[in-house]
């Protein structure tokens, strides 16, 4: 049985104004990712990877082209509509963790469930933290956790809503090699175990090679890796 396409870009472009005139950051990008797959977008700094990720996740709007996420055309939604879709169907893991400093690990992971009005927020968050090996750290604040532990909290928060797609932007970029390897193992284990589609943006070719599919971004254009 063919798996459904969960993420698709069609002729996606993003231009911005610059002192030299219009600058194309993303140029006519088209590709698709199926449900449960892992995909990597690799390229040097400034190639347009993070801009492309923001467009795919509905955090930014394209100059032209379309993004279809979990069956919905992001380009037809207003800001509230895109925010709703992100809350329901998307998870994020960033290089710099993006945890709320004043909240414990448990409270950070509960946050997306509470925002969704779920009554089982605490139970769901505890289960997610257990899956990432942090059951003993639930009451710790981010400042009391190592970088690897903070990233595991961020991963638990991303997976707790059981998203259709998890976007990870340089998820191992702020970690040492050993810790980064463990975080990568965790991401792929959760991808395999939950059926969530994983889309990685990275400059790390070894990390990208673990994905089902790899694309290379250069000067705003995307080609098979």
Walking along the chain (225 residues) 10 residues at a time, the average pLDDT comes out as 81 91 92 94 88 92 95 92 90 89 97 88 94 93 95 93 91 87 90 91 90 94 87
Specify the CATH number for the domain of residue 96. Answer: 3.40.50.300
Q: For residue 3, what pLDDT is reported?
A: 67
Q: How many domains does the chain have?
A: 1
Residue 39 · residue 210 · CB < 8 Å: no
Residue 173 · residue 192 · CB < 8 Å: no
Q: For residue 127, what pLDDT is reported?
A: 93
Q: For residue 1, what pLDDT is reported?
A: 34
Range of the domain at 193: 5-224
Residue 28 · residue 9 · CB < 8 Å: no
Q: For residue 73, what pLDDT is reported?
A: 94
Residue 220 vs residues 138, 154, 181: alpha-carbon distances, Å: 41, 28, 28
DSSP state of 221: E
Q: For residue 2, what pLDDT is reported?
A: 45
């Amino acid at each position: 049985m063919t798996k459904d396409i969960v993420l698709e870009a069609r002729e996606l472009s993003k231009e911005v104004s610059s002192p030299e005139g219009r600058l194309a950051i993303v140029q006519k990008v088209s590709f698709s990712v199926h449900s449960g797959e892992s995909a990597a977008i690799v390229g040097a700094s400034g190639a347009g990877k993070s801009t492309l990720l923001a467009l795919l996740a509905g955090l930014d709007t394209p100059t032209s082209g379309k993004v279809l996420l979990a069956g919905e055309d992001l380009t037809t939604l207003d800001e509230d509509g895109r925010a709703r879709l992100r809350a329901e169907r998307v998870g994020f893991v960033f290089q710099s963790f993006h945890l709320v400093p004043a909240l414990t690990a448990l409270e950070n992971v509960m946050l997306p469930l509470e925002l969704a009005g779920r009554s089982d927020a605490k139970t769901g968050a505890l289960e997610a933290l257990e899956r990432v090996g942090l059951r003993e750290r639930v009451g710790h604040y981010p400042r009391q956790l190592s970088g690897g532990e903070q990233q595991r909290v961020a991963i638990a928060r991303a997976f707790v809503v059981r998203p259709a797609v998890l976007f990870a932007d340089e998820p191992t970029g702020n970690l040492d090699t050993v810790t980064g390897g463990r975080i990568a193992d965790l991401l792929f284990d959760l991808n395999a175990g939950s059926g969530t589609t994983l889309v990685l943006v990275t400059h790390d070719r070894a990390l990208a090679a673990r994905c089902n599919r790899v694309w290379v971004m250069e000067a705003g254009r995307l080609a098979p890796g």
